[in-house]
Amino acid sequence: MAFGISKTELVEWKRRIEAGEMAILTHYWLDPRFPSSTSVTKVGCQDTKRLAEWGRQYGLKEAWIDHKEGYPHFDLFGDIQKQVLQDEGLVDQYKRFIQKERS
């Protein structure tokens, strides 16, 4: 279940993916399969070759791309999530979703 983001943020993330851009969105999320994670960062791009190439710099495998609902993306948690947000200059998403859960 996703929460903590506006509909506008979600629509913009989808628009960027559809336009072939790299799009990154973090939101609160609860899933019993990942009990230690309270947020997820989704990095998506319609161009899956570009997405896979981007993911390689973080050790992500192309097979891990989630193709759900026509928005190909990686789901990132924990340390890799933190690293990506910092490396990509998304300090606002880090502070909003990650830093709070580690306090």
Mean pLDDT of 16-23: 96
* Each residue's pLDDT tens digit, 38-94: 899 999 999 999 999 999 999 999 999 999 889 999 999 989 999 999 999 998 888
Q: What range does the domain containing 82 cover?
A: 2-102
Q: Looking at residue 103, what is its pLDDT?
A: 47
Q: Looking at residue 102, what is its pLDDT?
A: 52
Number of domains in the chain: 1
23: pLDDT strictly greater than 60: yes
Which residues of the chain form beta strands (DSSP E)? 2-3, 23-29, 39-44, 73-76
**Residue 101's pLDDT band (boundaries 50, 70, 90)?**
low
